[in-house]
């Protein structure tokens, strides 16, 4: 378990890079052009340094790192926290735990949390369901090259369409009451959902969309097809 202390530092945005496949990185991360400070978890810390970015904190067991890679992290990062390999948290849990206890960030954006092993993906997607993360559910975002996923507690919200995204999905994590999608392409009207469901392939009608619900947790995904996938699905060259 990573132990943290001190007064939280106020930030508009805090980024976390964990060790998911680099093939899933969005273009701005590939270019090293994501704004804001970083926490690097395990291989995420090494990859940040390769991009020319020095994280505020590097943490992990670093068991898969070479001696040269670990020496570089140790030299470059002033706050290095090495944990045992028999840790009781995933890399993403460690990063989010530090983010929520040591930083008062308006938005916590996690990269490298998708792709690769399915057990890691599911652990990351289910993370907001843990009671200890309740205080940051509405501030947590996962980003990869095709998707942006945010999480919400009950309330009424307005979404802004991302210019490069076409699709909109609403995911219920267990029972959700009174889910209403009033102005998307496909509507729901005060629907009570009793199980996890992904209402996939919805779309914005304009530049904004609103939704509301009264209990449960809902994930919202804005996504896009990659060009090669679209050609495969729709035979665009026919």
- Together in a domain, 161 and 138: no
- Per-residue pLDDT at 1: 39
- Together in a domain, 77 and 42: yes
The domain that contains 178 carries what CATH number?
Answer: 3.40.50.10240
Q: Residue 116 class from Cβ within 10 Å (0-12 exposed, 13-18 middle, 19+ buried)?
A: middle
Q: By the 8 A CB rule, do 149 and 141 touch? A: yes
Is 3 part of any domain?
Answer: no
Residue 84 pLDDT grade (very low, low, confident, very high; cuts 50, 70, 90): confident
Tell me the pTM: 0.89
Number of folded domains that form the chain:
2
- Together in a domain, 236 and 129: no
- Together in a domain, 129 and 151: no
Query: What percentage of the chain exceeds 70 in pLDDT?
Result: 91
Q: Tell me: the pLDDT tens digits for 149-173?
A: 999 999 999 999 999 999 999 999 9
Q: Tell me: the pLDDT tens digits for 174-231?
A: 999 999 999 999 999 999 999 999 999 999 999 999 999 999 999 999 999 988 665 4
- Together in a domain, 138 and 216: no
Write down which residue in 145, 173, 190 finishes a domain.
145
Q: Tell me: the pLDDT tens digits for 10-45?
A: 789 999 999 999 999 999 999 999 999 999 999 999
Q: By the 8 A CB rule, do 44 and 18 touch? A: yes
By residue range, what is the domain housing residue 198?
A: 146-238
């Amino acid at each position: 378990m990573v132990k943290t202390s001190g007064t939280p530092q106020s930030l508009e945005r805090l980024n976390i890079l964990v060790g998911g496949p680099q093939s899933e990185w969005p273009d701005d991360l590939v270019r090293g052009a994501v704004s804001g400070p970083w926490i690097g978890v395990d291989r995420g810390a090494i990859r940040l340094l390769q991009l020319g970015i020095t994280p505020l904190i590097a943490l992990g067991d670093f068991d898969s790192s070479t001696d040269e890679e670990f020496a570089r992290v140790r030299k470059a990062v002033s706050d290095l926290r090495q944990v045992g390999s028999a840790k009781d948290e995933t890399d993403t849990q460690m990063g989010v735990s530090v983010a929520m206890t040591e930083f008062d960030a308006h938005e916590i954006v996690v990269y490298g949390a998708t792709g690769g092993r399915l057990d890691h993906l599911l652990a990351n997607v289910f993370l907001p369901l843990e009671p200890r993360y309740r205080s940051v559910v509405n501030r947590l975002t996962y980003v990869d090259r095709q998707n942006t996923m945010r999480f919400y507690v009950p309330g009424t919200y307005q979404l802004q369409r991302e210019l490069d995204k076409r699709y909109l999905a609403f995911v219920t994590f267990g029972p959700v009451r009174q889910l209403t999608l009033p102005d998307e392409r496909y509507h729901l009207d005060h629907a009570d959902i009793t199980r996890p469901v992904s209402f996939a392939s919805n779309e914005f009608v304009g530049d904004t969309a609103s939704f509301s619900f009264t209990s449960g947790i809902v994930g919202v995904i804005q996504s896009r097809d990659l060009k090669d996938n679209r050609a495969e699905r729709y035979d665009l060259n026919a």
